[in-house]
Amino acid sequence: MTETPIDPDEARHELYRIMKTDLPFEQKAAQALELGTRYLGVENGHMTKIDAETDYWKATASTDPIDGAFPPGLILDLGTTYCRRTIAQDEPIALHDVPNQGWEDDPAFEEHGLECYHGTTITVDDDVYGTVCFVSTGPRSDPFGSDETMFAELIARMLEHELERRRTEAQIEQLDNFASTVSHDLRSPLTVIQGWIEATEQSANIDYLRKVYPAVDRMQQLLDDVLAAARSGQVIGTVEPISLETITGTAWDQLETGSHELVVETDAVARADQGRLQAVFENLFRNAVEHGSTSSVSAESVTSGSSSTSSGGLTITVGDIRDANGNPVGFYVEDDGCGIPESDRESIFETGFTTSSLGTGFGLSIVQSIVTAHDWSIDLTESEAGGARFEITNVDFQ
């Protein structure tokens, strides 16, 4: 435990300073937790993500080092933690000396031997997200004071606000992109329709109206894709354990895959909204099979390869990404085509961006929206074969 006391006003000012920085959320959380450990005089602080229905507990941020007992990314059974009791009640739990407070038979103490614990619940959109907790292997000499509990709650509320703000900003940005894309892309088919209607009026030849149908179909396709993209970015539904091997097979079966081949090299179980995760794979696979056999490279063909011909298909591979300890942290989808030009990579996720005259440019936008809604990250790189490789990380695994 640290022995350096911090003045309450100084601690609050430092916390406000941390939260006002432009640092990534994970760094803000780590610095706030470090400040909390100093103020409460404990060994470590953790921000957790919890799903009580599946007995899931994950340290999303932690002051413990990577080789410590509770490092960032650690996954435990919720039933073996004090946090299970924290989320079950309205007030924080403050345990300064677990064995002498009647908790010596608690599964959390029996499993981890932590004699000091202070936990506060975090909620996002009125649902339990997880906790902010501070722990030590040994007891404190004195109970937690009201000022310490208030400061721990302040950290939890500020991290909670940051999570909600980040989600809201992503949704607003997405809606702005949709509005801009729709207003731009609808102009062309509307102009076509208007022109043929005027021609019909001037010539009295109703056969001209047949020329309107392709433009109407184009508008319908665009509106359908906009609706799908808008729904994909909404708050996700039920999160549950999902086998990547199973859901990739289900997504593949929804498509006409022709001579293309799917190879799945993972048995990992991710935690996600099943429908949304299937949509991610369907969009990645669909773009591959639709564009991978042509001689043109499409920015919308996620795993395309212009070197492919109609006589041969792509091999699309799905595998997991693991950290230094061998734990899964994400998954990838890659192909053996020619990849996506570097000049297009910065724009590839923009709503409406496509180099295909038939595409709407919503495929990758939908993928990114679903990834963002899960608080994941997505990056485009190159596969060993020179094709496209999409890496989705910060994924929660069972």
User: Per mean pLDDT, which range of 140-149, 203-212, 387-396 is the poorest?
Assistant: 203-212
Domain count of the fold of the chain? 2
Query: Residue 117 in contact with residue 85, Cβ under 8 Å?
Result: no
Does residue 269 sit within a domain?
Answer: yes
Does 346 or 23 have the greater pLDDT score?
Answer: 23
End-of-domain residue from the set 113, 147, 167: 167
Question: Mean pLDDT throughout 69-93?
Answer: 93
Average pLDDT over residues 20-46: 94
Boundary of a domain, candidates 167, 192, 222: 167
User: Is 181 among the domain residues?
Assistant: no
Better pLDDT: 180 or 198: 198
- pTM of the model as a whole: 0.68
Maximum distance among all Cα pairs of the chain, rounded to whole angstroms = 95
Quick one: pLDDT at residue 320? Answer: 93
Mean pLDDT lowest for which of 51-55, 142-146, 200-204? 200-204
3-class state of residue 337 by DSSP: coil
**Among 114, 135, 167, residue at a domain's last position:** 167
Distance CA 62, CA 64 (A): 5
pLDDT tier at 66, thresholds 50, 70, 90: confident
Within a domain: 198 = no
Domain holding 13, by residue range, is 8-167
DSSP strand E in 69-202: where? 75-77, 93-95, 116-124, 127-136
Compute CA distances 310 → 17, 292, 301, 305, 385, whole Å: 59, 9, 16, 12, 19
pLDDT at position 149 over 80: yes
Same domain (yes/no): 257, 157? no
150/241 same-domain check: no
359 lies in some domain: yes
- Kindly state whether residue 192 falls inside one of the protein's structural domains: no
Domain membership flag for residue 138: yes
In a domain, 86, yes or no: yes
pLDDT computed for residue 355 by the predictor: 47
Classify residue 383: in a domain, yes or no.
yes
Is 277 in the same domain as 147?
Answer: no
User: How far is 302 from 284, CA to CA, in rounded Å?
Assistant: 6
The pLDDT assigned to 297 comes to 39
Residues 241 and 162 in one domain: no
pLDDT value of residue 324: 81
pLDDT tens per residue, range 317-355: 999 999 887 888 999 998 887 777 666 656 566 544 454
Cβ atoms of residues 39 and 153 within 8 Å: no
* Domain CATH code at residue 48: 3.30.450.40
Shared domain for 150 and 254, answered yes or no, is no
CATH number for the domain spanning 364: value is 3.30.565.10
Under the banding of pLDDT at 50, 70 and 90, the label for residue 42 is very high
pLDDT given for residue 310 in this prediction:
42
Over residues 289-302, the mean pLDDT reads 48
d(CA 145, CA 273): 41
